Amino acid sequence: MERSEITMIIEGLTERIVPFDASYAYAYANAELASMTKACGLSLGERASIAPGLKTVYPVYTSDKDWSRVDFGCKIIQIR
């Protein structure tokens, strides 16, 4: 697929793409989410993907079924 086609598909599926900044990295992806996700074994990258959903009203999209095992306090949408 061409990059433009991929971009069009992603933009059609999501409400908004939120840039990942330092406030997400420090406050959520590291300390707060680490204890919540320890039992599931979620990686730093996975926690970083969830962090914006905690700080905004936007849902987080994933194909990882392990994310549904934890109540993050934000909407998680399974895409498959």
- Residue boundaries of the structural domains of the chain: 19-78
Torsion sign, CA atoms 3, 9, 11, 14: negative
- Output the pLDDT for position 28: 61
Tokens representing 12 are: 């059609």
Q: Is the predicted pLDDT of residue 38 greater than 70, yes or no?
A: yes
- Output the pLDDT for position 64: 87
- Output the pLDDT for position 57: 76
- pLDDT digit string, tens, across residues 9-33: 888 877 777 777 777 666 565 667 7
The count of residues in the chain is 80
